[in-house]
Amino acid sequence: MGAAQASAHFERAAESDVEQLMRWFPDAASTRAWGGPFFRHPFDDASFREDLRWGRMASFALRSDAGELLAFGQCYERYGRMNLARLAVSPAQRGRGLGRRFIATLMDAARSELSLDEFSLFVYRDNHPALRCYSSLGFRPADYPEGAPLAGEAIYMLRRADAVGT
């Protein structure tokens, strides 16, 4: 584990995180893969905050002691489950297991926020690193919710809140 990971701490996302987060998505493809089909690109500060639902959705960060944003994610109720959304690890930190650590901690925070029986998330079928990460945390493909966007492009995944192994 690198020094930044060893000293990282989990907390509510801060205003300063939005500016750092914006730099992680330089093109339409990366923005769509992270934010979904309705997240605009190109974006400006106002449109990014609006599409992020900043201030209206529980947002969390993993940050280094130096203040660098290492990971970001949100949680909210969707289809009667604790939905994890807009999960991302800093491009400079990817491939080091930080995503798994962050999501496990985010699930603990979501339990405190929402107290529901299951977690859910959507992931594009071609996002193989994310699929491996979510599977390693116990998420399994489930029936796609009727009327949800991206049917055919994304996989809907579920995990019991009381499952062991986070």
What pLDDT tens digit does each residue of the chain (166 aa) get? Answer: 344 445 899 999 999 999 999 999 999 999 999 999 999 999 999 999 999 999 999 999 999 999 999 999 999 999 999 999 999 999 999 999 999 999 999 999 999 989 899 999 999 999 999 999 999 999 999 999 999 999 999 999 999 998 865 5
Range of the domain at 122: 3-160
Q: What is the pTM of this model?
A: 0.93
In a domain, 14, yes or no: yes
166 is a domain residue: no
Question: Residue 108 is part of a domain; what is its CATH number?
Answer: 3.40.630.30
In the chain, the number of structural domains is 1
What is the secondary structure of the chain as a DSSP string?
--HHHHT-EEEE--HHHHHHHHTT--SHHHHHHHH-TTS-SS--HHHHHHHHTTTTSEEEEEE-TT--EEEEEEEEEETTEEEEEEEEE-GGGTTSSHHHHHHHHHHHHHHHHH--SEEEEEEETT-HHHHHHHHHTT-EEEPPPTT-TTBTTEEEEEEETT-S--
Instruction: Judge whether 128 lies within some domain.
Output: yes
Residue 165 lies in a domain: no
